């Protein structure tokens, strides 16, 4: 029994040992399983925080059936199978970093760089005592950096390119194991601790650039003795640079630029014997570059960009730089020559000397180097560019912009430049031809050669397949052949990366080829203004679907604006002004929803402004001035709320002040001058609060000047002249302190001219021809009497005197005409105030004593001579034959008419010369001669649109003569030889030798038949009855002649058939093709139907003018309206 107890006692320790072992193993297994579960839960929490996984990495690779150590991005230890590293760099994850990451206690490396993480960095990362690397760079993290515990083994902290704020936590400077701190490009604030280097002796790299840090650099920074990289640029550090930086003897890269340091460069930097990169850009450094810099032979890069360094570079200072690869001295005040010793820097690859004041020539020795980039732009270098430069096979960029380089490019240019990508030569004095060999520089992406004196034709550049930007503006380049297609443009269709083409200010003098429609889809801008481009705009331009800029202004383009432009949905700017375009403004422009600027100025466009312009919601600048636009301005302009500039001047627009324009908040320039607008100016025009320029001159506006104009505080220019404004000049205008130009001349204003504010600066020219105005003597108006109310007085006088005045005027006119010959002065003089007086001697000299060589026409009552006045003005001088009293009266009659008229479609009188033995009128010279010449000469031809425009011009002139005065003016001799054409083929009616002045509704019986047979109305030829209806008849005959090219006196016409009856019969039989000018119809399919319809309408209108009874004839206003409608219909049909 005792033995058994003893045996049991002896066996007990063995049982305890086995039991202890089993329990220990079980405990380890349970803990290991528990820890693995914790890691898995942490990763699942991470996965749950990801809201975007574009590559489906987590979805496809993180399977619950697989061990977490096989999940992509996760790495585990071999023994414990614990997660030790997470690397999700560049996975484009979007989400937040979960606090559960702090449970991965075996984690040594955490790389989430180059993703789209947002939110805060979790504080739980301080729990990861084994963590050595944190890389969260290139995300969008916000908040503050956690205060890491000093028990971390962190070696690398990389948080660059986020949006982190707050101060740099002091705990970072207690991480004794830290080697790199990369906090660049955040929003960190505050300063650096003075003792920052006391606990981080291992620090090799400190990257703090591009933050908001401030304060001084601690003097004790030298205690970070192992620093290799120190980057503090682009902050708000201030004070002086501590000299102790010179004790960082392992420092290789030092970036200090763009702070507010003062005191210059500490000389202690000379001790940095290992320094390879020295960057001190934007530090406001002055004086010369410190001389010790040039003794630091270890330097590979020098960057002193954007300072105020001055002085010259000595040639002997560059001898020790055997390792120098990059020299950046841009944007300083350095001067003198560029040292030839640069050619000894055999390792130099990048040379930046731009934006200084260097002079002299570019050293030839630079051609000995294997340079990659040279930038010397914006200096004053001169002389030829050394040919050796163009043989550097390694060169990628040559930037020589805006110097004074001269000479020519070598004919072999491009043969030795296989790597050249950017060639910048603009703004120099280079000349000669652009070498054809340029086409061999096949790597070129940017070719900028504008603003030089290159000549000859543009070479074919189709081999430059990588070309993106072509800039050749402002040279003397030409097309291959004058007036032919510009072939070089066709070659550019091979450049499929082309984005910008700028050819402006050359004399290409050619046609745009249809092949421009084959340009690259990437073409964004095409600029070719002032190039002498002729012909039409190809419809193929509609293929350039990504075009944003189209500048073809100031050329000689003709024809229509192609409707295909409406296909260019990305167009933002269209400039087609100063050409000879005609036709309607295509409604297709309304499809351009991104259009911000549209300039169609100075063309011959006709018809209305398209109503659909209301769709151009992005338009800011709209220039439609100096065309032949007509009809009322659509009220839809009021929807263009972003308009800044609107110019509709010099057209034939009518109606009231365009509705809604006064409400535009941002409009700064509004020009409606030289139109026929009428009615009142809106009283709430001051709602256009940004208005600085307002011109309503030469219209028919009436009513009072709105006092609210005085609220337009930015107004600098105000022209209301040549209207019918009445009432007072508002005193509220006195407060317009910026107003420089003010003109209310030729109105019906009355009362006292304001004297306060800016009115002290205005002269009499601002107030001419307002008979009711009074004020200061210097303004050349009557003095305002005390308590004298002009308005009140006029209210009593005018109503009672109007009838008397009308009677008196008519009596005076009749008396003047009876006594005209007796009142003519003996001395030579100008009869009309606005005309210039011309002496007989001057006119004789001008016409070579009225020689036959100067005679350009003659008639029964006068001869016409061409001459050049002393000031260089070319004129036509009409000398009247004075053999009879009838012919003398012809001169008097023409003077009587011309003194009363002024219209764009009437011949303009420049002056006259009159004495008892000689009478002459000096007229504007119209170089294209008479309509008769253009209709009946084999050497001249007018197309249908030109003839229709001329007919409208004549009708407008007649409308003015018949209805534009208190009394009607009857021409009495309207025929093609009395219609002259200017350089733009605009018609001007002249020869008023037998014109009559009639009161409203008046007829006159004239005993002598002076009008031309074939054109005179029946009642004039039979009874001598003169009326405006007679001119309508003559116009009808002219309209038939314009359409048929047959004169009424043609030999085929006689007693049995006349021009009128011949055309009338063809209309009744629907056979107008037998009577119209066959040249006007064209071939079938080429607008034949549109032309035929237009001619038919014109002939029908002529018949309405040719009614036998005068009262049955159509009025001239109806003629104008119908002709304009015919033209609009014709243009619309022809455009499509």
- List own/partner pairs for 791-798 with CB under 8 A and 24 or more apart: 791/727, 791/728, 791/750, 791/751, 794/750
**pTM > 0.85:** no
Within this chain, do residues 807 and 832 fall inside the same structural domain, yes or no? no
* Residue 137 three-state SS: coil
Task: Identify the H or E element spanning 117.
Answer: strand 116-119
Query: Who's near 981: CB < 8 A, 6+ residues apart?
Result: 926, 928, 929, 930, 931, 934, 950, 987, 988
Give me the pLDDT at residue 902, please: 77
Whether 21 has a pLDDT exceeding 80, the answer reads no
User: What is 968-985 written as a DSSP string?
Assistant: EEE-S---GGGEEE-TT-
Active site amino acids:
973
Is 499 a domain residue? no
User: What CATH number has the domain bearing residue 100?
Assistant: 3.80.10.10
For the segment 434-482, what is each residue's pLDDT rounded down to a tens digit?
999 999 999 999 999 999 999 999 999 999 999 999 999 999 999 888 7
* 1064 and 946 fall within a common domain: yes
Name the nearest CA neighbour of 873 among 842, 833, 830. 842
Counting residues of the chain whose pLDDT is more than 70, the rounded percentage is: 86
Supply 452's token pair.
């030089």
Q: Using CA atoms, how far apart are residues 973 and 1014, in angstroms rounded to an integer? A: 11
H helix intervals, 861-943: 885-898, 931-936
> For 1043-1054, what is the mean pLDDT?
85
Domain boundary among 264, 284, 304: 284
Residue 881 pLDDT exceeds 80: no
Q: Does 105 share its domain with 50?
A: yes
- pLDDT confidence of 277, banded at 50, 70, 90? very high
- Contact by Cβ (8 Å): 477, 505: no
Give residue 834's pLDDT.
Answer: 41
Residue range 885-940, pLDDT digits in tens: 555 555 666 666 666 677 888 888 888 887 777 888 888 888 898 999 999 888 88
Same domain, 1069 and 957: yes
What does the alpha-carbon distance between residue 615 and residue 827 come to, in Å, rounded to a whole number?
Answer: 64
* Statement to judge: residues 877 and 980 lie in one domain: no
**For position 33, what pLDDT does the model report?**
46
Find the range with the poorest average confidence among 10-19, 217-226, 395-404: 10-19
What is residue 218's predicted lDDT score, i.e. its pLDDT?
A: 94
Radius of gyration of the chain (CA): 44
The number of beta carbons lying within 10 Å of the beta carbon of residue 316 is: 9
DSSP assignment string, 19-70: HHHHHHHHHHHHHHHHHHHHHHHHHHHHHHHEEE-TT-HHHHH--TTS-GGG
Q: How far apart are the C-alpha atoms of 299 and 280, rounded to whole Å?
A: 14
* Structural contact between residues 912 and 921, judged by C-beta atoms closer than 8 angstroms: yes
Helix (H), strand (E) at residue 655: strand 652-656
Q: What is the pLDDT of residue 800?
A: 46
Q: Are 176 and 198 spatial neighbours (Cβ–Cβ below 8 Å)?
A: no
Q: Which residues pair with 698 in a beta bridge?
A: none
The parent domain of residue 157 ranges over: 142-284
Flag whether 528 is in a domain.
no
Does residue 118 sit in the same domain as residue 260? Answer: no
The average pLDDT across 996-1014 equals 49
Lowest mean pLDDT among 101-115, 681-695, 740-754, 834-848: 834-848
- Which residues are documented as binding site for ATP? 878
Q: Exposed (0-12), middle (13-18) or buried (19+): which is 33, by Cβ within 10 Å?
A: exposed
CA distance 362 to 516: 39
- Alpha carbons 423 and 434: distance in angstroms, whole number: 13
Helix axes of 1116-1135 and 1088-1105: crossing angle, nearest 10 degrees: 180
Q: Are 1032 and 1123 in contact (CB under 8 A)?
A: no
Shortest CA distance to 988 belongs to which of 916, 909, 1047? 909
The domain that contains 855 carries what CATH number? 3.30.200.20
Please name the residue that has the structure tokens 């079980």. 26
Q: What does the buried/exposed string (b/e) look like for 492-509 if buried means 16 or more CB atoms within 10 Å of the residue's CB?
A: bbbbeebbbbbbbbbebb
**Span 546-575, mean pLDDT?**
94
Q: What are phi and psi of 979, to 5 degrees?
A: -115, 120
The string of pLDDT tens digits covering residues 1055-1094 is 678 888 889 888 887 888 889 988 888 655 567 888 888 9
Q: Please return the burial class of 130, using the count of CB atoms within 10 Å of its CB with bins 0-12, 13-18 and 19+.
A: middle
d(CA 612, CA 588): 9
State both tokens at 838.
């011309």
What CATH number does residue 1125 fall under? 1.10.510.10
Judgement on whether residues 938 and 1043 belong to the same structural domain of the protein: yes
Number of structural domains (the chain) is: 5
Pick left, alpha or beta for residue 111 (phi over 0 → left; psi -120 to 50 → alpha; otherwise beta): beta
Q: How many residues does the chain have?
A: 1136
CA distances from 1041 to 598, 930, 976, 1070 (A): 39, 14, 9, 19
CA distance 615 to 714: 29
SS3 assignment, position 380? coil
Report pLDDT for 892: 64
| In a domain? residue 830 | yes
Count of other CB atoms within 10 angstroms of residue 365: 17
- How many other β-carbons are positioned within 10 Å of the β-carbon of residue 84? 19
Q: Report the alpha-carbon distance of residue 115 to residue 673 in Å, rounded.
A: 60
Instruction: Tell me the binding residues.
Output: 878
Cβ neighbour number for residue 430 with a 10 Å cutoff:
23
Query: How far are the Cα atoms of 709, 744, 911 from residue 728, in angstroms, in the given order?
Result: 13, 11, 36
Compute φ and ψ for 762, nearest 5 degrees. -90, 150
Last residue of a domain, one of 267, 284, 301: 284
Element (H, E) at 809: helix 790-823
pLDDT value at 787 more than 70: no
Whether 463 is covered by a domain: the verdict is no
User: b vs e for 922-933, b when ≥16 Cβ sit within 10 Å of the residue's Cβ?
Assistant: bbbbbebebbbb
Residues 870, 907, single domain; the answer is yes
Residue 403: inside a domain: no
pLDDT at residue 815 in the model: 52
| 990 found inside a domain | yes
For residues 365-388, give the mean pLDDT.
95
For the record, the structure tokens of 997 come out as 């002045």
pLDDT band at 224, cuts 50/70/90? very high
Banded model confidence at residue 879, pLDDT cuts 50, 70, 90:
confident
List all residues 6 or more positions away from 81 whose beta carbon is below 8 Å from its beta carbon: 32, 36, 67, 69
Same domain, 1026 and 902: no
Are 118 and 158 members of one domain?
A: no
Which of 100, 95, 117, 111 is CA-nearest to residue 43? 100
Same domain, yes or no: 961 and 1100: yes
Is 704 domain-assigned?
Answer: no
Of the three residues 284, 314, 345, the one that is the final residue of a domain is 284
> Residue 347: pLDDT band by 50, 70, 90 thresholds?
very high
- The token duo for 926 is 């119209």
* Strand, coil or helix: 744: coil
Provide the mean pLDDT of the chain.
85
Q: For residues 469 and 499, is the Cβ–Cβ distance under 8 A?
A: yes
| Strand-pair partners of 214 | 236
Instruction: Please say whether the beta carbons of 356 and 334 come within 8 A.
Output: yes
pLDDT over 70 at 1101, yes or no:
yes
pLDDT top residue among 205 and 291: 205
**Does residue 631 sit within a domain?**
no
| C-alpha–C-alpha distance, residues 650 and 605, integer Å | 12
**Would you state the pLDDT for residue 884?**
54
For the purposes of burial, counting CB atoms within 10 Å of the CB of 881, is it exposed (0-12), middle (13-18) or buried (19 or more)? middle
Looking at the structure, do residues 1080 and 1014 belong to the same domain, yes or no? yes
**Cβ-based neighbours of 1115, under 8 Å, separated by 6 or more:** 1032
Please, which residues have CB within 8 angstroms of residue 334's CB and are 6 or more apart in sequence? 309, 310, 311, 312, 313, 353, 356, 357, 358
């Amino acid at each position: 029994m005792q033995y058994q107890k003893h045996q049991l006692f002896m066996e007990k320790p063995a049982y305890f040992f086995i039991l202890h072992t089993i329990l220990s193993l079980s405990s380890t297994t349970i803990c290991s399983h528990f820890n693995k579960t914790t890691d898995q839960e942490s990763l699942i929490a991470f996965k749950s925080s990801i809201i975007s996984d574009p590559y489906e990495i987590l979805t496809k690779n993180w399977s619950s059936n697989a061990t977490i150590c096989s999940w992509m991005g996760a790495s585990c230890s071999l023994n414990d199978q614990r997660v030790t590293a997470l690397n999700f760099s560049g996975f484009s994850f979007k989400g937040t970093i979960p606090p559960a990451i702090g449970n991965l206690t075996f984690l040594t490396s955490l790389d989430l760089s180059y993703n789209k993480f947002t939110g805060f960095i979790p504080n739980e990362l301080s729990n990861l005592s084994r963590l050595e690397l944190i890389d969260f760079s290139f995300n969008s993290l916000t908040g503050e950096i956690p205060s890491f515990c000093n028990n971390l083994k962190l070696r690398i902290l990389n948080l660059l390119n986020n949006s982190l704020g707050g101060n740099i936590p002091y705990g970072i400077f207690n991480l004794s194991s830290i080697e790199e701190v990369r906090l660049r490009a955040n929003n960190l604030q505050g300063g650096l601790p003075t003792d920052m280097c006391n606990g981080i002796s291992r620090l090799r790299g400190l990257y703090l650039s591009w933050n908001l840090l401030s304060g001084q650099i601690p003097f004790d920074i030298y205690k970070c003795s192992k620093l290799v990289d120190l980057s503090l640029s682009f902050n708000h550090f201030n004070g002086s640079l501590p000299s102790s930086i010179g004790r960082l003897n392992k420092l290789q890269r030092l970036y200090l630029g763009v702070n507010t340091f003062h005191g210059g460069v500490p000389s202690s930097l000379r001790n940095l014997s290992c320094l390879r990169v020295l960057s001190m850009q934007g530090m406001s450094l002055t004086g010369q570059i410190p001389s010790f810099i040039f003794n630091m032979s270890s330097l590979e890069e020098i960057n002193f960009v954007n300072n105020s360094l001055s002085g010259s570079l000595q040639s002997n200072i560059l001898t020790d730089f055997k390792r120098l690869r990059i020299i950046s001295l841009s944007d300083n005040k350095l001067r003198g020559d560029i040292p030839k010793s640069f050619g000894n820097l055999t390792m130099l690859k990048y040379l930046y000397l731009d934006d200084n004041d260097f002079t002299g020539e570019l050293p030839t020795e630079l051609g000995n180097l294997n340079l990659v980039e040279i930038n010397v732009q914006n200096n004053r270098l001169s002389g030829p560019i050394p040919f050796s430069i163009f043989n550097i096979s390694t060169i990628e960029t040559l930037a020589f912009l805006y110097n004074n380089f001269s000479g020519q490019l070598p004919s072999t240019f491009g043969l030795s430049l296989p790597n050249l990508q950017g060639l910048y030569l603009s703004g120099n004095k280079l000349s000669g031809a652009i070498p054809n060999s340029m086409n061999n520089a096949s790597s070129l992406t940017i070719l900028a050669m504008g603003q030089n004196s290159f000549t000859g034709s543009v070479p074919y550049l189709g081999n430059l397949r990588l070309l993106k930007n072509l800039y050749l503006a402002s040279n003397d380049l030409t097309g291959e052949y004058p007036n032919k297609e510009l072939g070089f443009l066709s070659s550019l269709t091979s450049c499929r990366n082309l984005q910008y083409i700028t050819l402006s200010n050359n004399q290409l003098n050619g046609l745009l080829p249809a092949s421009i429609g084959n340009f690259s889809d990437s073409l964004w801008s095409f600029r070719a203004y002032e190039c002498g481009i002729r012909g039409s705009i190809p419809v193929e331009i509609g293929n350039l679907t990504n075009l944003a800029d189209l500048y073809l202004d100031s050329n000689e383009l003709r024809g229509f604006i192609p409707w295909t432009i409406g296909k260019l949905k990305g167009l933002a700017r269209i400039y087609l002004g100063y050409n000879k375009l005609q036709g309607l403004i295509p409604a297709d422009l309304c499809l351009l929803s991104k259009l911000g600027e549209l300039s169609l100025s100075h063309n011959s466009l006709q018809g209305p402004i398209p109503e659909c312009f209301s769709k151009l919601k992005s338009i800011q600048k709209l220039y439609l001035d100096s065309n032949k636009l007509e009809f009322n301005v659509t009220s839809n302009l009021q929807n263009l709320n972003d308009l800044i500039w609107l110019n509709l001047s010099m057209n034939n627009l009518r109606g009231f002040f365009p509705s809604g324009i006064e409400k535009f908040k941002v409009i700064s320039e509004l020009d409606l001058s030289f139109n026929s607008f009428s009615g009142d100016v809106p009283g709430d025009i001051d709602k256009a609060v940004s208005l600085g320029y307002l011109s309503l001159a030469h219209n028919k506006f009436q009513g009072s000047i709105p006092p609210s104009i005085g609220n337009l505080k930015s107004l600098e220019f105000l022209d209301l002249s040549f209207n019918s404004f009445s009432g007072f000049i508002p005193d509220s205008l006195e407060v317009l302190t910026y107003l420089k130009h003010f003109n209310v001349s030729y109105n019906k204003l009355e009362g006292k001219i304001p004297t306060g504010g800016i009115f002290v600066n205005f002269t009499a020219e601002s107030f001419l021809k307002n008979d009711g105005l009074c004020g200061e003597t210097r303004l050349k108006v009557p003095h305002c009497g005390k308590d004298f109310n002009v308005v009140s007085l006029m209210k009593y006088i005018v109503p009672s005197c109007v009838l008397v005045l009308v009677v008196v005027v008519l009596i005076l006119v009749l008396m003047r005409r009876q006594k005209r010959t007796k009142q003519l002065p003996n001395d030579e003089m100008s009869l009309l105030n606005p005309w210039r007086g011309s002496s007989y001697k001057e006119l004789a000299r001008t016409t070579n004593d009225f020689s036959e060589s100067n005679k350009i026409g003659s008639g029964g009552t006068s001869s016409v001579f061409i001459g050049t006045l002393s000031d260089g003005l070319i004129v036509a001088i009409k000398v009247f034959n004075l053999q009879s009293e009838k012919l003398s009266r012809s001169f008097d009659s023409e003077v009587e008419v011309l003194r009363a008229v002024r219209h764009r479609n009437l011949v303009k009188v420049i002056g006259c010369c009159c004495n008892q033995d000689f009478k002459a009128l000096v007229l504007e010279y119209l170089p294209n001669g008479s309509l008769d010449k253009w209709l009946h000469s084999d050497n001249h031809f007018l197309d249908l649109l030109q003839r229709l425009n001329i007919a409208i011009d004549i009708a407008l002139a007649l409308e003015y003569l018949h209805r534009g005065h208190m009394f009607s003016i009857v021409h009495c001799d309207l025929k093609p030889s009395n219609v002259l054409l200017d350089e733009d083929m605009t018609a001007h009616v002249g020869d008023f030798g037998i014109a009559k002045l009639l009161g409203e509704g008046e007829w006159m019986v004239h005993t002598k038949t002076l009008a031309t047979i074939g054109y005179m109305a029946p009642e004039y030829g039979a009874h001598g009855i003169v009326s405006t209806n007679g001119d309508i008849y003559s116009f009808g005959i002219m309209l038939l002649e314009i359409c048929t090219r047959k004169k009424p006196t043609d030999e085929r016409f006689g007693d049995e058939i006349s021009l009128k009856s011949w055309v009338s019969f063809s209309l009744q039989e629907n056979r107008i093709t037998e009577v119209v000018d066959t040249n006007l119809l064209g071939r079938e399919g080429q607008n034949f139907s549109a032309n035929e319809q237009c001619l038919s309408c014109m002939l029908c209108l002529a018949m309405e003018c040719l009614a036998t009874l005068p009262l049955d004839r159509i009025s001239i206003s109806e003629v104008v309206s119908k002709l304009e409608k015919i033209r609009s219909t014709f243009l619309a049909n022809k455009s499509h």
